[in-house]
A and B are shown apart, each in its own frame.
Chain A
Amino acid sequence: MREAWNAFWFRPSAPNGIIAARVVIALNALWLIASRPLLPDVVRWPAPFWTHADVFIRTRFFVLPLPFFVEMTLYAILAIALVGAAAGIALRVCAFAAAILIYHFAPMEDIFTSIGGPFFRGFTLPLLGLLILAQSQRPKRSDGPSSEFRWPLALMQVLFAFTYLLSGFSKLRIAGASWSTGDTFESIVLAMMIPDSVPPWAHFFVGNALLCWLGAIVGTALDFLFIVAVLSRRAARLIIPITFIAHLVIIRVLGVVFLGMPMLLLFVNWDWVREALRRESGARTEIALAE
């Protein structure tokens, strides 16, 4: 057991994966921040909105009655910290500051009505990933393989895989095995067809038992099998593209966008990518010298 634990978390790895993870996570968060450039504006919304915002939720996320310019300054610091983290500048400070500020700002999108927190707003893994980066050793491209480059990336991959695995277990626990049926999938498609917003491919599924069963089976398989991509690079080569395509289909069928989709890049074999780029660059140099 201990051997398996150590082999999984601490086997020596080249630094390419964790360097790529740093860039992916920081840029994913930056994309979300830049897509809500005035998120702190909610503190200026009329008082009646805030009257019913749960005081315990506000306290939990440090949403205190601060002036707009203070919140906006903190938001700007968040953006700068993410740029720093992506570039690897003052990594620990930038990653830690960005993580804490994401923790503060992410719930603002639902602050007036949320009861659970922003678990599906795309900030979950960036926040945890940045905290993990803040605690891990700063890698350099010239570094040799080390367990210090393995466990942070493995933990991020496991946390990302939990998006699917725990979702699958939650469905089992709440709805039972009957969740994985064509009938249930059709009910979900129907529930997502709402006035003002009907997903463009929803109609293909409603009344089509074959497609609905396919949706249920693929959905269940992804929930429970995605974790295999964490354990096997060979399996990841198959699972990651299928998951990416599945998310694109979900957008068209259910109208739901998974904002953590860029995190699939955590599973790319960056050692192989770097080696391929090096070979390509070497070949070009040889051609140029021959000419």
Chain B
Amino acid sequence: MQIGSLAAFAIFVALGVRVLTSAAERRRRAINHLLAYTLGVHAFLLIAQKDAWPFSVYPMMAAVSRNRSDQHQMIVARGVDAQGREWPVDPIAWSPLYPSSTLAWFDVGYPSASAAERQSVMRFLLERAEKARRQRAAGEAFIGNRALLGPLAAPDTNLYGAVSPAPMPFRALRIYRVFWNPTAFARDPSRVTRKLLCEYRS
């Protein structure tokens, strides 16, 4: 699949180069081939329901469960100060990645990672979380992904809630798997259950 996707992109580039290098009398034909190929690739992907970025059929939100009794889950991180209080981690603490991309590692990598690997990842995430906390607490706005453009920087595709910086340094990082029922959560945001996945202390 990956090789096929690369080939689809390479053919697009090659057809473009052909447009560029074709003699005037053959140029229109080369352009037509490029246009037909572009439309054809998308038609194929649509029928096959495959993604071959940069050719995509944009399947976002196509598969949505309408079963209101479903249990949803996600991974969240919490910084812990010296008094044991938990605080949300700044969404741009792990720039250039956002939390959803970073914490997904706990689904794909964590289960098979060794103890040393887990520790290495947790230490890294805690250090970055603490650095962002310190910068925010000092009133810095141009940090992480916002280092150049500040508030004008493009956000992640998914918006994250604003986080007030914790007043005390993070001494530990906890990773939880959080569970909730969407209907119950919409009525009362406190109706979530969570299970501690791992904890790292500095």
Which chain A residues have a beta carbon within 8 Å of chain B's beta carbons?
9-10, 31-32, 34-39, 41-42, 45-49, 51-52, 54, 56-57, 59-60, 92, 103, 106-110, 112-113, 116-124, 127-128, 131-132, 134-136, 151, 155, 158-159, 162-164, 166-167, 169-171, 173-175, 179, 183-184, 187-188, 190-191, 193-199, 202-203, 206, 251, 255-259
What 10 pairs across the A-B complex have the smallest Cβ distances?
A117-B53, A190-B182, A119-B56, A48-B117, A35-B154, A56-B2, A167-B58, A35-B153, A113-B104, A116-B51
In Å, the complex CA distance between A112 and B161 comes to 24
B137 located at the interface, meaning its Cβ lies under 8 Å from any Cβ of chain A in the complex: no
In Å, the complex CA distance between A120 and B155 comes to 13
Report yes or no: A187 in contact with B5, Cβ–Cβ below 8 A: no
In Å, the complex CA distance between A243 and B32 comes to 30
B175 to chain A, nearest CB (A): 14
* Contact partner, A49, options B1, B49, B74, B121, Cβ 8 Å: B121
Contacts of B168 in A (CB 8 A): none
In Å, the complex CA distance between A133 and B19 comes to 11
Contacts of B95 in A (CB 8 A): 36, 38, 41
Cβ-closest chain B residue relative to A172 = B62
Knowing A60-B2, A131-B12, A166-B58 are in contact, say whether A193-B145 is a contact too (CB < 8 A).
Answer: no
Report yes or no: B2 in contact with A59, Cβ–Cβ below 8 A: yes
Report yes or no: B159 in contact with A198, Cβ–Cβ below 8 A: no
Report yes or no: B16 in contact with A135, Cβ–Cβ below 8 A: yes
Report yes or no: B58 in contact with A45, Cβ–Cβ below 8 A: no
Report yes or no: A179 in contact with B186, Cβ–Cβ below 8 A: no
* Contact partner, B186, options A10, A151, A173, A206, Cβ 8 Å: A206
B197 located at the interface, meaning its Cβ lies under 8 Å from any Cβ of chain A in the complex: no
Extra inter-chain contacts (5) besides given A60-B6, A118-B53, CB under 8 Å: A35-B145, A109-B98, A117-B54, A119-B53, A206-B186
Report yes or no: B158 in contact with A117, Cβ–Cβ below 8 A: no
Cβ-closest chain A residue relative to B104 = A113
B167 located at the interface, meaning its Cβ lies under 8 Å from any Cβ of chain A in the complex: no
Binary per-residue interface labels of chain B (131-165) against chain A in the complex, 1 for a CB within 8 Å, 0 otherwise: 00000000000000111110001111111110000
Report yes or no: B61 in contact with A37, Cβ–Cβ below 8 A: no
Interface size bucket, B side? 35 or more
In Å, the complex CA distance between A255 and B161 comes to 10
B200 located at the interface, meaning its Cβ lies under 8 Å from any Cβ of chain A in the complex: no
Report yes or no: B62 in contact with A170, Cβ–Cβ below 8 A: yes
Cβ-closest chain A residue relative to B66 = A187
B11 to chain A, nearest CB (A): 12
B196 located at the interface, meaning its Cβ lies under 8 Å from any Cβ of chain A in the complex: no
B52 located at the interface, meaning its Cβ lies under 8 Å from any Cβ of chain A in the complex: yes
Scoring B13, B56, B63, B98 by chain A CB atoms within 10 A of each residue's CB, the highest score goes to: B56
Knowing A162-B58, A170-B62 are in contact, say whether A34-B149 is a contact too (CB < 8 A).
Answer: yes
| Contact sample, A vs B, 28 pairs, CB 8 Å cutoff | A10-B28, A32-B154, A35-B154, A37-B148, A45-B124, A47-B117, A60-B3, A103-B9, A108-B96, A109-B97, A112-B109, A118-B53, A120-B58, A124-B53, A131-B13, A134-B16, A155-B35, A158-B39, A159-B38, A167-B57, A170-B57, A174-B63, A190-B185, A190-B186, A196-B160, A198-B161, A257-B159, A259-B157
Cβ-closest chain B residue relative to A174 = B62
Q: Which of B1-37 contact A (CB under 8 A)?
A: 1-3, 5-6, 9, 12-13, 16-17, 19-20, 28, 31, 34-35
In Å, the complex CA distance between A54 and B109 comes to 11
Cβ-closest chain B residue relative to A49 = B105
* Contact partner, B72, options A106, A112, A194, A199, Cβ 8 Å: A194
